[in-house]
Structure 1
């Protein structure tokens, strides 16, 4: 791992750790002055101060599931919820781009509402899911030769 890759990786984890701890000044130290944040259904937010204000006003808690680094950026998946309402959790994917100095330059977020844990499928979901699963499993097992 190159030194700049290590710094970027550390900055990814620190970004979410600072937000979880409500340490917005420390979070701001990881942002480029020209940072831009794109959130679903909202206008993009430009500039360090506005991004810090946005995060402060949302007061979210992040649980990271995985982080992938590519030459074009870093992909982060996890679950996010309001600090005071963990039941309203959403799955998210953040695509992060860093400046040459290792500061966060762009964050694009995609999210999906989380279904309840062990929530049963509806009749419609079940009627679509089961045949599709059977079809995929059938194709998979037809490819395997018996021993």
Structure 2
């Protein structure tokens, strides 16, 4: 029997692996700023372990990793970093963490107050949607 693309015959696929997190695992979220970064470490079950403010420098990045590693339990691991602004203030940190072998996820910054006040229809027009983007020509400006 033929199957459609992307489908498996019944019984021939294995179940999707799930990520099992443990209390001794560590996950880190980082809010990035020009001069310093604010990090919060949580355990694998969502409990807050601690927070730290570090300078946006190599020494600060090293301090951040050491801070996070200190929370790892005997069978735990440093699961991942969620970094806000990997295209701007967080680019140096994200690059450093990846070079050290850590998993890094980009976290979208929250909407600014002025963006939250915009009429939803205006906000939708300002947000690019896949398939709806178009090039900007000089006469459009």
The bucket for the TM-score relative to the shorter chain is under 0.3
Q: TM-score, normalised by structure 1?
A: 0.24
Which protein is richer in helix relative to its size?
1
Q: TM-score, normalised by structure 2?
A: 0.25
User: Larger C-alpha radius of gyration, 1 or 2?
Assistant: 2
